[in-house]
Every structure is written in structure tokens, then in C-alpha cells.
Amino acid sequence: MDNSLLPILDLRLDGNVKGYPLDAPAVPLGQVGDQGWTLGDLDLPAAILRDSVIGQNGRWMAEFLHRTGASICPHGKTTMAPQLFHRQLADGAWGITLATATQVRVAYEYGVKRILMANELVEEGSVRWIQRTLDQDPAFDFTCLVDSVDGVHRLERAAQGRRPLRVLVELGIQGGRTGVRSLAEGLTVARAVKASPRLALRGVECYEGIIVTQDPAADEAAITKWLDLLGDLAHRCAAEDLFETDEVLLTAGGSAYFDLVVHRLARLDLGRLSRVLLRSGCYLSHDGDHYARLMALLEGRLPEAWRMPSHLTQALELWGQVISRPEPTLAFLNFGKRDTGQDMGLPRPAKWFRKGLHGVPEAAPESWRLSMLHDQHAKLELPAGADLAVGDLVGCAISHPCTTFDKWPVLFSVDDGYRVVGAVKTFF
């Protein structure tokens, strides 16, 4: 165990934490797994992580990287859980990706030494903190993005330290998010970086995950075109000797199209050492809807040599309790918008449990359907005669884990028998 996690493991939890048994004494987070609790002991609602599935998903990604020759710097904003960051690093992750300077500081203070900030860094106070940390800690490896000459100049003014601040030029698309909009603009920014003694160009970057429509073939064509343009930018930067690091980073790859990223970028020959760096953040917990559908498409695209013997599986589950059965075809659970994201679809009832009847949760009937979320209520529609009573527990599959993790200061880890084996602290 990394000693940097000790402050988290020493953090005392009690009934003020969502999910913690209200009648249990306070214990350090690191001792939660010693209490002998099961799912039925938690104060619901509660978010849980299936520990064996987390391990399986980590092995899946490690095998994919082995087969493709790529590396991964998983996006930490999905979980904002340093305990999981260290688990990913132990699985072989190159580093951890983050989106804001605050997230960078959290990760660094809990022992993450190599960080890619997949965003532009503009606030001068944040730049000064990062530069000061770079100068004080030779092991700190930090990289951020730039997409304008103005951004280059802002970094220059604040980066007054001994070590140059390493950056990637970000390539965007018209109408998309951040990033230069053309090859010419990208080269202008890259040249401005090369001209600065305080900055060093480390590579190029894009985020193709914003392209998601109802037409997978059109998405694939658009993403391939975008990645090829990123390759062109890298070639032009190499031809002009603009890169200033021993290894060039070629990075993209959210949680839906990372196969295309490897396919297009791994073929590049820049005449120097380069690394294809993926940034999937959702693979570790996965989900039961949005990314599950996209991963099915991804697996269908894989060439034979990359085909995997297993699949990513949802590790994150949201559990609530039936608190009302006001009508024969209606039940209400005690979680709502405060507990789960719904930006990419409502949770889906997947399992249920009745104390004294089940040894472990059983699959929920497919006819059960969540139709509405209130602040603290979930409306569950049932067929007539459904065997579901007040007090029963219902576990839901989540769509888009990013907007569910942030609702939970602590998630509970369980084994395959739904015995609580630990707890994971988040920092949103």
C-alpha cells in the first residue's frame, strides 16, 4: 500500500456519511472491511463497487494495452478517488489524467506523480502552484494543453521556475469543444511554444469522445478523419523540430473509441520515439447502459489480434430500498437525483434482495422499469402481481458513471457475496 493513502484510510467515518450504518460506531475508513457488514447492513441508499469486477476490468484493459502496444493515462475525473488511482497505476497505467488544477492537486497530494491535465491551464495562481511543485519535486511529471498563442503567453508569464512546463497542442473540431480548429493554427501555437524558454512541446492531443450520434458509421468516419488530422499535425511538428522532449505523446481516447485511436495513431512514424496514450476513465467501473452499448460497438470493430476473451462489466451499483407500494403497479425507492446521474439515461433495475429470503441479490425481472426521479424518490413501475414489498432492496445499473460517482463522498466495496470489504473516498 502507498503511504500517501494513509490519511484517507485513517479518516473516521460515521452515520453522517451516506450509506454508513446509522447505529454503527465510528471507525477509520481503512477498517470498514473488518466490521462484518453486508449489503443489508448499509443505510440505504448506498453506492457500491463490486471489488472483483474492478479487478477484472483492470485486467481487461491491461490485456488490451498489451495486445495493441498502447499506454493508458486514465481520466481520474470519473471517480476522483485516489485509492482507485493507485489501483490503476498498479495495473500499469502510465499516469492519471485530470481536468482541473484542483483535481491535479488532490491527486498529487495523495501520491500521484505523473499527471496529464487534459485541459487548458489559464489561471495564473494555478500555474504558479504547479510550477513551484515542479521545482520542489523532481519526480513530479506534469503536462497540460494549449490551444492558442494567448494561452501560451499566459503560461509564460506565470511559469517562472527552473523546469520548463511541458504542454501538448490540442486539436479540436469546428463547433466542438476546446482545441485549435486547423492544422495551420496548430502549427502556429506549436511554434509559439518552441519559441518560449519556459515551455516545452511534448506532443499533440484531441478528444474524439464528443462525437456520438445515432449513426455509428458516420461517427467512425468523422473520428478517423479527426485522428488523421492529429497525425498530420504531429508530422508537421516533427518536420520542423518543434518537439522538445525525448518522447512525443500522441494522446486521445475516451471510453468509447479508444480502438480507433490506437489504429490510427500507432501507425505514425515521426522519426523519433513516440507513445500512443489513451485516456479512458470509465473502463474501471464501466456502466450498464451508455458505455455498455458503445463498448459493444467497439468490440465489434476490433481486428482478430485485438479481440478480448472477456468483456468489461459494470462494477458500480446503486442500491435503494422500497419505502412505499401505494398502487399495485407502483413502488417508490428511497434514492433520487441527489444520488445518481441521469444525463445519459435513468438507472435500470438490475437486482433485488429481500432480507431473510435471499442469500445474495437476484436478477430483477426485465419488466421492472424506473420511469422518474425526484430529489429523493425513484418511481418504479411494475407489472400487476409483482413480488416486491416495502423494505425490499433494489439494485440499479447506472448509465454514465461520471455523474454518479460525484454524488457519493464514500462508496462501499463488496465481494461477490455482497459482504462489505472496504470503502472508497472521493474528492469532488
What are the phi and psi torsion angles at 232 (to 5°)?
Answer: -60, -40
Cis-peptide, bond into residue 409, ω within 30° of zero: no
- CA distance linking residue 107 with residue 121, whole number of Å: 16
The pLDDT, as a whole number, for residue 52 is 98
CA-based torsion, 378, 379, 383, 384: positive or negative? positive
Give me the CATH topology for the region 69-279: TIM Barrel (3.20.20)
CATH superfamily of 3-50+312-425: D-serine dehydratase-like domain (2.40.37.20)
The pLDDT, as a whole number, for residue 1 is 64
**pLDDT digit of tens for each residue in the chain (428 aa)?**
679 999 999 999 999 999 999 999 999 999 999 999 999 999 999 999 999 999 999 999 999 999 999 999 999 999 999 999 999 999 999 999 999 999 999 999 999 999 999 999 999 999 999 999 999 999 999 999 999 999 999 999 999 899 999 999 999 999 999 999 999 999 999 999 999 999 999 999 999 989 988 899 999 999 999 999 999 999 999 999 999 999 999 999 889 999 999 999 999 999 999 999 999 999 999 999 999 999 999 999 999 999 999 999 999 999 999 999 999 999 999 999 999 999 999 999 999 999 888 889 999 999 999 999 999 999 999 999 999 999 999 999 999 999 999 999 999 999 999 999 999 999 99
User: Would you call 189 helix, strand, or coil by DSSP?
Assistant: helix
CB 403 within 8 A of CB 341: yes
Q: Residue 229 corresponds to which cell in the numbers above?
A: 488530422
- CA distance linking residue 46 with residue 162, whole number of Å: 47
Domains 3-50+312-425 and 69-279 share a fold: no
| DSSP symbols for 34-73 | GS--BGGGS-SSEEEEEHHHHHHHHHHHHHHHHHH--EE-
What's the Cα-to-Cα distance from 359 to each of 3, 39, 45, 52, 69, rounded to whole Å?
A: 37, 11, 20, 18, 43
What are the phi and psi torsion angles at 270 (to 5°)?
Answer: -95, 0
The pLDDT, as a whole number, for residue 253 is 83
- Give me the residue spans of the domains in the chain: 3-50+312-425, 69-279
The pLDDT, as a whole number, for residue 357 is 83
Q: Residue 187 corresponds to which cell in the numbers above?
A: 502549427
